[in-house]
Structures are given as C-alpha cells and as structure tokens.
Structure 1
C-alpha cells in the first residue's frame, strides 16, 4: 500500500490499519491528580491533529489556574505529610520498577500515540517505546549503589554524616518531540530520590504522559506522588512561579528555558534545563566524503529532523566543500518521504502546520541571505495533505548567517566551508549553543584532540552519537545541569551536613 496521499488516493479513503485504532487513553478529558482522575475546572481543550492526514485525532483538556494549584497541592501534601520521602531508597525503587513493567506493557499504545501525535515513524516509535522502561529500571537499580549517606569525622570531633535528601516537589515540563523519554529522565530519578512530581504534558503530544498516569493508577502508586495534567504556557508558568514547587526540570526551547531560569532565580528555586542546539559535524580531510554524507543524512531523518541535538552544521574544508555538499544533497534528497506507518518510509511529516511554516521561513531566509540550495527546499509534490517537507541541504553557508546560528528544528542541513582544521574547530564553537557535536576522521587521536576543544555537552565520532547512560546536557545556552546516569539523580537531591557530639544509638543508613 502506498504511503502517499495524492489526488488519486484521497486522505481518509486508503489508510494504514494502525491509524484506525482507537485512541488508547481512558481519560484524555481529565487530569491525574492525587491518585485519581479529576474533571477540569474549566471546559478549555486542545485538539491534537494527525500530521500525516491533517485530521483531528483526539482532544485533551487544558488545565487552568485552579487545576494547576490542585496538582501542586497534591504533590506538596504527599511530600510533606506522607512517608514517601522517608521510605528507604530500595522501597521507592520497587515502585519505580513497577512503573517500568507497566510501561513495557503499554509500549504499543505509547508508540501509536507518538506516531499519530507528531508523525514519528512507527518503526522507530515501537522500538523506542519498548526501551523507555529501561530508564526507570536504571534509576531504580541505582538506588542500591548510590551513596545516600557518607560518614565524616568533624574537625571539632564527634559524629558527622552528609546525607542526600529529596529536594521536594518537582515540576516536570517536557517538549512535544519525544515526551515519553523526556518524562522518564525526570520522573524516574525524582521518584527514586523521594520527590513528588507534577508532570506538565505538552498540549501537542500529551498521550504518553497519560499512559504513565494510567500505569501509576494501576500499580497503586501512593496518591499525590505523581500528578499529570496538560497545560499551555500561561498555566505552565504558574507551575514555575508557585513557591510550593522546589524544582523545575524542563526540556524545550532556549527562549522558554531562559524565562524559566529567570523566574526560578527570583525565588531561588532549583532547576535543570535541557535546551536547544545548533550542533556541528566536522569532516576532516582523511575521512571519506560519501560515507560521512550517508551517515549524516540518515541521522537527520530521525524524528523527521525535529531533534535538538541534530548535527545540522556540517563543516568541511573549502577544497572539499562542493563535492561533499553534492554528496549530502544526493543522499538526503533521496530519503523516502512517506506515511509514518509505512515500513518503507524513511522520513515523515513535521509535527504541526506551524512547525512546517517555521521551517519554511528559515529556508526562505537561507536563500535570501545567499546560501545555495543543493536539494529540497519545498513541499513534496506527491502529497496533497500532511505537513510534509522535502529534506533540504544548503551549501556555501556563512557560519554567522541565520540558518547557521538559529535552531530550525526540521530536516535542514547547512554545509559550511572552513579554511583549515583549526578554523573548523573555531567555526564549530562560534555559536551560542553547545549541545552535541561530532568529528569525522580515521585518526582516533585527532578525534580526541578535537573533541576536547569543542565546547559541547557530547562529542561523537564518525556519526551522531549519544548515550544517556553517560549523561546528556549542554554547554552555554543549550542548558544547565545533566540528565541520565548518576549525574541525573543529583539535581533531585540536597546534601545536608549533620554534626553531632557523638554517634547516635542504633545509627545505620537511612535512620
């Protein structure tokens, strides 16, 4: 069955079977607060549109001020007046393992939602959702090895111990492109630490958060420990401003991250920010151009180019620039555009009409500023519905131009000429961002030398490389703090020094 929705195949007449499945959510019209599904205080709602067909998929209720306050109250009460934060870490870990098991059972549902909400290829969605539970298991397992308490000998004598205690109530705010994994890297460490959480789901893609809430209900997670609602920016800001919220964990744009940091700074609230990027890939002269072009083209198809860590600035020496640009344009331009449920598709639609409009405006600006369009740049001719856009490659891009400096968040790659290896590294660092990077070379020592000089949270070798188990996060305006690994647990804990005259009777860890 063809994935193309053309004049000969009207949208809605010929579909992939999965698109006809019912929405796998029990209560999109309610919020999960204090362990139960509650009706919203106002009738406000948001319509989620399938980006491949432009048809309404389902509607979700939007939280107002009263709803947000109710969720925060539930989380605050659960933290202050129940024994959740006082449980031994191993006991909290058992709950987190149960969440992992439940999410694995619901992986197909979450994958369906992800595809229909934002257009991610179903093949990727199924594989990725099956792994989300592993994040919860990772943090649950970490609870057994983590140094929650460390004995010291105070300078004045007596007994000393540094304990790490839960930071309190956490507001988790995530972007729409990969909500399930973004939620996991906030909720899992927060719960293991002993925090309680309010998850603010994105209106464009709330389904995965609601699946998590349904799992929490099924396993009997104590009331108020996890609360889930959907809200727009106005209500989200209430979560950030509320003094009952001790920490904000945010993934999204750098512009919103700056506002969150400013608000948190006013009241000295804790925060971690995983923000945007404009990540460079440097192609050194000893590396095969066609091999590099294939790798970068394939990577940019991921999530249809809507990845904050995408390697969108490709830097190559001037004498090889034209040959590489043509190779990249050939490989990226050949990516099969298709319905995200088509197993043969390599790239699907952008998530929303406004997102496609945004990317198209950047393409127009790139042309206006003098960059050469090698491939793409328009809408595919064979699709009369859906937010599809051709994979696009620019050549001869000035590193200070708009398309080289601002995050586009779509399938657009810029090839930038460099005068030398040293100049390439300078260009790589000539940005306000520092989230990801890669170095293409056959010389491992050369790769390591360059990696240490690039100002970026992650630097890969010969391709897009990322490992959340090692921690992810950015330099400069790409964020503050880290998620993943042990580093991802620390932001949910406060160290406390306890100094006593002598060893308390019956002292032991988690007294």
Structure 2
C-alpha cells in the first residue's frame, strides 16, 4: 500500500475558504457559534469548519432566492444572456481546475486524477452544455379549432432547493444548478455536511461569472438544515440526490407542499457477462465498475452476473486483479482507490464484510483479510462469490468497493436476476452478440444501460432511475425540462 503522507501545504490552504460561513443574498455571513469540522478522510484530521445552518438561516436564504426571482434580475434576462453567464462560469471552472480538483480530493478522498479529469472537467462541461441550451428555451404556436391565436411559453419554476450527497460534490451539485439557472430559476444549494468545500467555492465563481445577488445561495449543515429547506413554503422545486430512504421522505414532504420534485436515489446495478464476451475486457470493466470512487457511486457495477461456462475463470481473474489496484494517498497521481469519505461509510462496509464471513459467503480479494494501517478511512476491493439472490449483499446497497458474483445459465435467468432488486439505476451487458445486446437492454429495468463498458457518462445523455432508484432525469435536454413549466396562451381573434 502507498504510504499516506500529509497533504502538501498548497492543498490545505484552499480549505481556508469561508470557514463557518453561509452565502445568502449575494453576501457571506459568518456563523460564529455553530460549526461542524471538516475531516480529511486520508488522515482523519480536521482541516476546516463549515457553518451549521439552522431553520432561520434557511428561511433567509429562501427569502433571498424568492426576492431575486420575483425581481426578475435573472429570469427576466433573455436565455442567451443567462447562457453567456453560464459559459463564463465554465471558463472560470477551467481556470481554477487544479484548485477545485485538490479541494475535492482533500474533502472527499477521491484520487486527484479522477477529481481533475472527471469531476472538474464534467462540471465545466455541464455549465457549457446548459449555457448553450439556455438560448433554445422557447414555446410553440398551436393550431386550434376555435378562432384563437394559441401558443405556449416555457417558464422557470421559481426557487429550487438543490440537495446533494457526499460522493460527487461538484458533479451532482452542478447537474442541478446549471439547468436550474439556465431555465431562469433561483437556487438554494445545500451540499452534504461531509463535503461542502467546493460548493462554497462555487458561490464565489458564479458571482464572478455574473450571477446576480440572491440567485444562487449556499447553506451548509446537517439534517436540520435539509429538513427546513425541503419544508420551506417558498420553495417551488426540490432536486435531491442521495439515499432512497431520505428520498422517500423528501418526496412525501414535497407532495404535502405540492412542490415539483426530482429524486435520484440508490442503486444496486447488475453487470451481465455472457460467455461470448471478451473475458479480459469484461474483467477490466468489472473492476472499474466496482472500485471507482471507492465504490461510493450510485451507478457502481456492484453485482456481477456471469454465464456459467466462464464463471470460475472470471471469479479467479477478478479476485487476482483486485490485489493490484493501487490504494493510497488521494493526492498521489498513481492512486486509484482513496479512502472512504468518512468513518460511518467505512464502518458500513466492514459490517457487511463481517456478516459475509458469518454467512459462509466465499470472500476473495485483498479486502478479505486487510486492515488499515493508517489513520484514514481506507477499504480494499472485496469480491463475494457464490452469493444467493435473496442475500443482503445482493439486495442492499453497500456503497463501498465490494462486488458480488453470481452464475447464470440462460439469458432469461440473467435478466430475471438483474431485475430482481428494489433498484433500477444502471446496468451493463458484456457480449459480442449485438442482437442480444439490444434485446437484453430493452428487458432491463434500469435508467441507463452500458454495453461492453461501464461508467461512461456524457452531459448530453439523461441519467435517472426506475423503481426505488427514483424519478426525474438529470443531464441532457431532459434535465433542463425538469426545471421548466409550460404556460398556454390563447388570444381571441
């Protein structure tokens, strides 16, 4: 294992940004007596603090967003003008690429090469994509039987509450913020209390890009702030990514308040390997699918279904390959697996592995006997073979670098096993038969299906779930539609 060194000074200085502050109405406000520590997951040491917002703070942020929306300083601009501001934001993200990447890695434990090439670059691409789409928001003229001039308008919803999780702070925040702003809405963003640093930095960058005061607000803190935001009467839409349990509660509250809501929730995604697949490629894909971001990925390929003729070969190859995945300092360019984001996430993984040992599941890979020799929250890749379909390892989201492997005999059985969980966020098919690929993709109950690969995403393609993985879509033009409403206008002739 790579030794875990203290992060270099230039990485830690970035964490001094806005300690204990909230961004409300275009101004920074210090909260002196309600603070929460920010922990470096690679060392377990405190690196900064964030403010613990209360209900009054949330109410002020929502009022600021409402006043900005009603004043029309943002929604009243032509779409092209809003788009230019988002394109300026994209340019600033690119300009501050290294700073944002280091901040993201220090806060989450994500390896720096992924923070830079995926998280920061995707954030810039989202601002560019929705900045370009902002100019195309328009209604249409309709033909009616009555003597009427009839047309539709596409209008912003109002105040959007964007609530985001710990695992992809930049990407999952901007997947809501960019389309919401492109559509003309105002935003109150509550990032995860565990990983808030880049959200706070984003407030500065959006202000520099030209977003008017009150249009974008950031509140930090835990469940009190989140609950107050989802229940605030001035919020018109809640956009949430996180656990299915919390998503259900948010959807219920939104129903009571008749708010618009989108929820992108958990996953337990199946990756199906047919016997005609390229085994080396399939094994590489499977490894990438479950170790990426230390398995803290709602679309992780955490279930591998392998056709029986190649089952033993694939299990052996994956267990062997898992031994060689570099684990270590997230600021080391060669690291592939950094630490889990916090102690509760590591303990959840360890609890599942203790149960696997008790249930006589075949446990393979370095995680089977590995204990961390550092102060950080490190886990190693673990493979659970010969797992029963009704076991908690197959049915529940572990959210760590743990892969279950099961055999199947027929295409029909593979589809049945893949669909037999409460979730439906993503799935994969590894096969040389293009006809089978189309057939199985159509049968899988998942919002996204990869064929002969895993984890490739693009801002132009929508993401969202079936079943307990939520509803609504992010990315693509569908993501913009979630932040617009349609008005019909009929003028008597």
- TM bin (shorter chain): over 0.9
2:8 counterpart (17, 21, 33): 17
Q: Does 1:132 align with 2:132?
A: no
Contact preservation (8 Å) 2:122, 2:459: no
Higher mean displacement: 111-120 or 371-380:
371-380
Of residues 486, 489, 492, the one that matches 1:498 is 489
- Of 477, 485, 489, 2:480 maps to 489
Match of 1:53?
43
> What secondary structure, in the 3-state scheme, does the structure 2 residue paired with 1:414 have?
strand
Match of 1:268 in 2: 258
Q: Secondary structure at the match of 2:13?
A: coil
| Paired residue secondary structure (1:307) | coil
Asked if the contact 2:36/2:221 (under 8 Å) is kept, the reply is: no
Identify the residue that residue 190 of structure 1 maps to in structure 2: 180
Distance apart, 1:17 and its partner CA: 2.9
What is the rounded CA distance, in whole Å, between the counterparts of 1:300 and 1:243 in structure 2? Answer: 40
Rounded Cα–Cα distance in structure 2 between residues aligned with 1:493 and 1:98: 23
Q: Give the superposition deviation at 1:417.
A: 1.6
In structure 2, the residue corresponding to 1:452 is in which secondary structure?
helix
Q: Which moved more, 1:229-238 or 1:286-295?
A: 286-295
Aligned equivalent of 2:463: 472
* Distance across 1 between alignment mates of 2:367 and 2:102: 29
Aligned 8 A contact 1:458 1:466 in 2: no
Task: Report the more deviating stretch, 439-448 or 342-351.
Answer: 342-351
- Number of aligned positions between the proteins: 491
The answer to whether the 8 A contact 1:247-1:269 is kept is: yes
Residue 324 of structure 1 corresponds to 314
Alignment of 1:444-459 (within 5 A): 444-459=434-449
3-state SS of the aligned residue for 1:249? strand
**Residue 163 of structure 1: CA displacement?**
0.7
Which residue in the other structure is 1:69 paired with? 59
Measure, in 2, the Cα distance between the counterparts of 1:313 and 1:382: 25
Task: State yes or no: 1:351 paired with 2:341.
Answer: yes
Q: Distance in 2 between matches of 1:377 and 1:137?
A: 40
Q: Which residue of 2 aligns with 1:85?
A: 75
TM-score by length of 2: 0.96
2:419 is aligned with 1:419? no
C-alpha displacement at 1:307, in angstroms?
Answer: 0.4
Taking the aligned partners of 1:50 and 1:84, their CA distance within structure 2 comes to 37
Distance in 2 separating the partners of 1:285 and 1:114? 40
Measured after TM superposition, the shift of residue 70 of structure 1 is: 0.5
Does residue 383 of the first structure (1) align with residue 373 of the second (2)? yes
1:3 aligns to what?
A: 2
Q: State whether residues 429 and 450 of structure 2, in contact with CA within 8 Å, keep that contact through their aligned partners in structure 1.
A: yes
Distance in 2 of aligned mates of 1:248 and 1:357: 30
Q: CA RMSD in A?
A: 1.7
Contact 1:366 / 1:402 at 8 angstroms: preserved in 2?
Answer: no
Secondary structure at the aligned position of 2:14 is classed as coil
Deviations 1:157-187 (A, max 9, x none): 2100111110110000001111111111111
Aligned equivalents of 2:238 and 2:362: distance in 1?
42
Q: Counterpart of 1:115?
A: 105
Distance in 2 (CA, whole Å) between partners of 1:456 and 1:130 is 26
Unaligned runs of 5+ in 2: none
Query: Is 2:391 the partner of 1:401?
Result: yes
Q: Give deviations 1:183-231, integer Å, cap 9, x for gaps.
A: 1111111111110000001111101111110112323421110001102
Separation of aligned partners in 2, 1:401 and 1:494: 43
Q: Which segment is superposed worse, 133-142 or 213-222?
A: 213-222
**Pair 83,116 (structure 1): closer, same or farther in 2 beyond 3 Å:** closer
**Is 2:435 the counterpart of 1:436?**
no
Cα shift readout 1:122-176 (whole Å, capped 9, x = no counterpart):
1111222133111111011012234x12011232121001111101100000011
Change in CA separation of 1:361 and 1:259 when aligned onto 2, cut-off 3 Å: same
